[in-house]
Chain A
């Protein structure tokens, strides 16, 4: 049995919000190196 489509949709939603958001703000932090 595979995962239902709605479960896959929530997997993508959760990953985008959390890991996408984290990657973006980490990128901003790394870009702004001067601030300790």
Chain B
């Protein structure tokens, strides 16, 4: 470890920093969301808006966040307080949103943990959907009836929060060790999963759905907004994560090239995951004698219903490939979870001078206890509502505020100069234009689309009560809490 005067522990090498940033960016969404987005939005034609989004939104915002963290040498609240005391809440807001996200994300990781064990004997049998919904989740069909706490999920949840505590209690020192396992291993295993998938009958048909372009879809606004939304989520942007991680970089560290490598690596994993997913979807369609369009799924349904169903049909070594698949998900998820968790304890310990280990323990316990609601029979519905509202009104809006505040209330060219001084690849005025003008317009359009969809279509047919408690109050609560955190007096070190 390298120490600077204030005894802040820093990343020991450029390699581990990039690995940590990539580990944060690459998560479950790369495997279970991106391939489906391609299928839904014009197959290979989706690559065009996606790549444009990577280069105009993803990488420029990564450069911005790396630069902010490196410049302020602190977490997101300290960074925004340094820009202007009145903006400190913009630093707290993403941290609280991310912590709430982690509370239900850890439950999904607990599912992966259980399914990794269930893969040993393919416990779901011939009815993966019935097993997942009824036996495993004990789904009550509505958020209003909580039903029983599902013990296997709780056990998985204990394992996940214990792991987060062990890794995060000592900050980057332990994160460094963890990411050397949780980043390369799932990537290697994903190659094995893809190779197995590609050797199955029907795989080419599935891949064809993933890659064959329908360029006519490029003329619809929705495909472009979907691409920008995917990049925003996939790159771990606007969550305070990249600002926090970059604050632990030594003074002479490269910024711009690190951001480019992180962005391309994340997108590269998404692109590759498409082959692992759609080859198996093709096999599932082939084996069940139906069309790919009939069996294609995304999100948890892909991982816990479609994939297990395909495993049950595999001629040999199904348990082996099942275990590997869930290890991949679990590792991608854990490397993201530890990065999502880190900014909040760092922010709290910086402001109130509380021991990082102590606050990590308190937050882990809190996260576990609140997370118990998602382990009940109605938990799936609460998870779905909270996720939808946080996704809709959380990060996109934060990214918009980030661009506007840094672009208009701060000297953006000063940040560009800071990044260029330490970086191999130089950025020009085009970066200022993207941050100040282009991305605020895109992010505003994303926000307007979300509002329009909620007003016109509602969400999932849930009651107003459930939407208020699980969605609206959570979003507003996070927003208000960020102001409270700002107003509370800090402790001078």
Contact = CB atoms under 8 A, between A and B. Distances in A.
Nearest to A17: B51
Contacts of A19: 268
B253 interface: yes
B253 A35 contact: yes
Contact of B44 (A10, A18, A32, A35): A10
Nearest to A10: B44
Interface string B196-237: 000000001101100111000000000000000000000000
A17 B51 CA distance: 8
Candidate in B43, B44, B257 with the most chain A CB atoms within 10 angstroms: B44
Contacts of A8: 211
Nearest to A8: B211
Interface in A22-36: 22, 25-26, 28-29, 32, 35-36
Would you call the interface of chain A mostly helix, strand, loop, or mixed?
helix
Contacts of A26: 261
A6 B44 contact: yes
Contacts of B258: 29
A10 B425 contact: no
A28 B268 CA distance: 18
Given A6-B44, A10-B211, A36 B257 contact: no
Given A11-B44, A15-B271, A36-B13, 19 more contacts: A2-B204, A3-B211, A6-B212, A7-B44, A7-B211, A7-B212, A8-B211, A10-B211, A14-B44, A14-B271, A21-B260, A22-B261, A25-B261, A29-B14, A29-B257, A35-B14, A35-B252, A35-B253, A35-B254
Which 10 A-B residue pairings sit nearest by Cβ, starting from the closest?
A10-B44, A7-B211, A22-B264, A7-B212, A35-B254, A18-B268, A32-B424, A25-B260, A10-B211, A21-B264
